[in-house]
């Protein structure tokens, strides 16, 4: 799972604030060691081992030890990164590199506010591994540096380019003569048809409601355009109760009203729901572009999973049909209090090389953020569909930022959608709950506000 809940709220009450100063040792800088790595210092790397696995991170570690053979690497692939590392951040004894992703990750906004992270500008301005005439920042897809920037300082660097959409089996659809819909009304009509065959039109990862938030907020963005997206992120009064957002909630709620959701989905984990979908028990499932990699061990031959952009909500959407929600993800950071911060930066320089990025595309079935890394590769069914969706969307790729900026609002959104999908609240009540949470965040002077 690449994106899920937020943990680490307790960090806010425990930290006393770092100083972002260099606390580790440094070696001599040279053309071959541009970041001044101490060549014999050990390096501790903690990776979120989720849908993408951690083979690519191990590959970066292998390159590191080839270059610095006296340096020992302690690699840990774990889950619930926040639960494991929060005490170490509080005690100022963090690892040297962290992939802060997945359910239970550290609250990034709190880490930033507490000055627990090292500024990555030195890394971005260092020569790239593949072409020393280029800076690392110039080898990354547009938006990646911006995604990791807080108040002018780059604190995080995301490794994966993620799109969110609706997944289905191309072979199952061909067998039944079904065509992926271009509008939500067509989606509901097709759902009625699918239901008659005994296949559930939809399932979802019910224990993690944010999965269904993605199509909901995509529908809202398409109908309301970037003005709505920015209004949501900027905590504008009434944004959650605006007409496009209510229409999107109503569209998703219709899946419940019309009996299109597989029975019991609300009790399923992400893998349980995805496994049921891979067995053909449901036609559609919402997910990000990491799904193919996450399911590759259990996907039957010939299933041919593909991702499509969420259909248009209305005939007069403000964003073009084919617009898709996307962002960079899989957040790598170097703690300010790392023992070997220069080694941490060098590890990331190697990680963001074409060699490692290509390995990531092949092993994780996902797109890396390194420009040109997948050139010449034969892409799998799912990854090809993701690449096609990105190409079709062109400039119409949108993203929300409130989930990173405001953890309490993100949780309120998740909780309310869980209630909507189990029919315990209606769309108006859903919007009222989240608007109340947004207003609370807006009025809380202890929470740092962001604007876009």
Q: Which CATH class is domain 163-326+398-443?
A: alpha beta
Closest to 438 (Cα-Cα) out of 400, 414, 406: 406
- How far apart (Å, rounded) are the C-alpha atoms in residues 72 and 5? 33
Closest to 147 (Cα-Cα) out of 123, 120, 110: 120
- 121-147 tens-digit pLDDT: 999 999 999 999 999 999 998 779 988
Q: Could you tell me the residue ranges of all domains in the chain?
A: 43-162+327-378, 163-326+398-443
Fold matches, 43-162+327-378 and 163-326+398-443: yes
**Tens of pLDDT, residue by residue, the chain (452 residues):** 433 333 333 444 333 344 444 556 788 899 999 999 999 999 999 999 987 899 999 999 999 999 999 999 999 999 999 999 999 999 999 999 999 998 789 988 889 989 999 999 999 999 999 999 999 999 998 779 988 998 889 999 999 989 999 999 999 999 999 999 999 999 999 999 999 999 999 999 999 999 999 999 999 999 999 999 999 999 999 999 999 999 999 999 999 999 999 999 999 999 999 999 999 999 999 999 989 988 989 999 999 999 999 999 998 999 998 999 998 889 999 999 999 999 999 999 999 999 999 999 988 888 899 988 988 888 899 999 998 998 898 888 899 999 988 999 999 999 999 999 999 999 999 999 999 999 999 999 999 898 88
DSSP 205: -
**Rounded to whole angstroms, what are the CA distances from 144 to 33, 139, 368, 378?**
25, 10, 11, 25
Tokens 């799972």, residue located? 1
Q: 43-162+327-378 in CATH: which number?
A: 3.40.190.10
- How far apart (Å, rounded) are the C-alpha atoms in residues 168 and 305? 6
């Amino acid at each position: 799972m690449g994106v899920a809940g937020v943990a680490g709220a307790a960090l806010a009450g425990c930290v006393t604030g770092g100083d972002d100063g260099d606390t580790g040792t440094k070696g001599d800088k040279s053309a071959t060691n541009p970041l001044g790595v101490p060549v014999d210092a050990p390096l501790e790397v903690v990776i979120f081992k989720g849908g993408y696995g951690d083979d690519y991170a191990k590959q970066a570690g292998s390159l590191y030890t080839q270059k610095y053979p006296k340096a020992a690497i302690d690699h840990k692939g774990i889950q619930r990164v926040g639960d494991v590392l929060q005490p170490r951040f509080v005690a100022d004894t963090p690892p040297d590199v962290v992939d802060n992703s997945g359910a239970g990750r550290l609250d990034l906004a709190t880490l930033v506010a507490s000055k627990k992270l090292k500024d990555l500008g030195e890394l971005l301005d260092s020569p790239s591994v593949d072409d020393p005439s280029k800076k690392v920042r110039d080898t990354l897809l547009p938006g990646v540096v911006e995604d990791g920037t807080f108040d002018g300082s780059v604190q995080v660097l995301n490794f994966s380019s993620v799109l969110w959409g609706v997944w289905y089996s191309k072979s199952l659809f061909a067998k039944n003569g079904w065509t992926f819909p271009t509008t939500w009304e067509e989606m509901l009509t097709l759902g009625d048809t699918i239901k008659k065959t005994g296949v559930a039109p939809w399932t979802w990862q019910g224990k993690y409601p944010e999965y269904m938030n993605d199509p909901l907020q995509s529908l809202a963005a398409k109908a309301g355009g970037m003005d709505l997206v920015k209004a949501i992120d900027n905590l504008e009064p009434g944004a959650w109760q605006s007409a496009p957002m209510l229409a999107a909630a109503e569209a998703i709620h219709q899946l419940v009203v019309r009996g299109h959701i597989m029975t019991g989905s609300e009790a399923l984990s992400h893998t349980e729901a995805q496994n049921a979908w891979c067995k053909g028990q449901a036609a559609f499932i919402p997910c990000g572009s990491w799904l193919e990699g996450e399911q590759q061990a259990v996907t039957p031959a010939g299933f041919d999973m593909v991702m499509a952009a969420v259909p248009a909500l209305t005939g007069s959407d403000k964003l073009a049909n084919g617009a898709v929600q996307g962002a960079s993800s899989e957040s790598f950071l170097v703690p300010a209090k790392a023992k070997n911060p220069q080694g941490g930066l060098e590890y990331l320089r190697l990680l963001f090389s074409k060699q490692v990025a290509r390995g990531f595309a092949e092993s994780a079935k996902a797109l890396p953020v390194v420009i040109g890394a997948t050139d010449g590769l034969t892409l799998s069914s799912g990854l090809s569909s993701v690449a096609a969706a990105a190409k079709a969307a062109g400039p119409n790729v949108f993203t929300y930022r409130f989930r990173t900026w405001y953890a309490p609002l993100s949780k309120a959104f998740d909780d309310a959608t869980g209630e909507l999908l189990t029919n315990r609240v209606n769309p108006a009540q859903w919007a009222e709950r989240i608007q109340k949470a947004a207003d609370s965040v807006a009025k809380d002077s202890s929470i740092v506000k962001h604007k876009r």
